[in-house]
Amino acid sequence: MRLVKLLANLGYGSRKEMQQAIRHGWVTDRDGNQLKADAKTDHEDILFDDEPLDPAHGVVILMNKPLGYVCSTKDQGRLVYDLLPDRFRMRKPVLSTIGRLDKETSGALLFTDDGTFLHQVISPKSNVPKVYEVTLDRPMNGSEAALFTSGEMMLENEQKPLKPAELDVINETHARLTLHEGRYHQVRRMFAATGNHVTDLARSRVGALTLEGVDEGQWKVLTEEDKALIFS
C-alpha cells in the first residue's frame, strides 16, 4: 500500500496532510532516512515523527475498562475510545469493540479492526467463555447455580433459553459467573431474575486471556500467543 494511504488509514491525518508530512521529512526508516511516497519499506521499519507506526491492520487490543466509560464512538460522556490515542478513531478499517461492556461494568474489553477475528470471537461455534466477578446486594438464595446451569433459564422478553452458565460461589454476596454467550445486560438480568441485584461487575477473562499486567484504564496490543489464549 502506498505510504500516504497507509498513514491516512492508520489515522495520522488526511491524505493531503500525509503528503505534507512526507514532504517535510517526518516519515523515516529506522536509520533516519526520509521516506518518499512510493517507499516499499516494511511497516515495522517506518517511523512517524521518530516513533514506530501504530500496529498494522489486523490489530487486536485488550483494555482494562474502568467503570463509567461507554463502549461507543459517539455517545455523550466518557467513551472507551478516549483511553486510546485519538488517531485510533480515524483508522480504516474501523477499530470496533468485540462485544460490549455496560457503562457500569469494568474489566477485559477487546477491540479489533479485523472483522473475521471479531466474528470468530463472538461466534457461538467458538464457544469462548467469558468470566465475570459479581458482587451482589443480598446473599444468594442457593438456587442460582442450578438455575444458571440448567440450560432452561428464560430471561424476560426473550424467546430462547440461556445456554448453561457456571456459577462459582465465593461467599454469600460474591460469585464468579462463566457465560458462553453475550446477551444484553445478561449477568445483571440473570441475578435480577433470582430477586437479587448486582452492585459491582467486572469481566476478568475472555477464554484464558486475563488482565494480568494491564492496569485499570490501560491497554495492550495482543501478540499471536495472547490471541490464541482467547480460544484455548
Residue positions annotated with a catalytic role: 102
Q: Which of 188, 208, 210, 231 binds ligand URA (CB under 6 A)?
A: 188
Q: Which of 15, 92, 138, 185 binds ligand URA (CB under 6 A)?
A: 185
- Indicate the length of the chain as a whole number: 232
> Backbone phi, then psi, for 40, in 5-degree steps?
-110, 25
How near is the Cβ of 183 to ligand URA at its closest, in Å? 8
Options 21-29, 43-51, 119-127, 183-191: segment touching ligand URA (CB under 6 A): 183-191
How far is it, in rounded angstroms, from Cα 66 to Cα 97? 15
Asked if 194 and 147 count as a contact pair (C-beta separation under 8 A), the reply is: yes
Nearer to ligand URA among residue 102 and residue 166 (C-beta): 102
Q: Is 187 in the site for ligand URA (CB under 6 A)?
A: yes
Pick one of 29, 45, 102, 114: the residue that binds ligand URA (CB under 6 A). 102
Reduced to 3 states (helix: H, G, I; strand: E, B; else coil), residue 128 is coil
Q: 111 Cβ partners below 8 Å, 6+ apart?
A: 59, 60, 61, 63, 84, 95, 96, 97, 98
* 186 interacts with ligand URA by CB under 6 A: yes
| C-beta of 43 vs 189, nearer to ligand URA | 189
* Cα gap 82→79, rounded to integer Å: 5
Q: Is 181 in the site for ligand URA (CB under 6 A)?
A: no
Of 80-88, 97-105, 168-176, 211-219, the segment contacting ligand URA by CB under 6 A is 97-105
CB 84 within 8 A of CB 113: no
Residue 98 near ligand URA by CB under 6 A: no
Q: Are strands 198-206 and 105-112 parallel, antiparallel or unpaired?
A: parallel
- Of 9, 64, 97, 105, the one binding ligand URA (CB under 6 A) is 105
C-alpha 97/C-alpha 94 separation (Å) is 10
Largest CA distance in the chain: 69
Q: Indicate whether 112 belongs to the interface with ligand URA (CB under 6 A).
A: no
> Which residues here bind ligand URA, judged by CB under 6 A?
101-102, 105, 185-188, 201
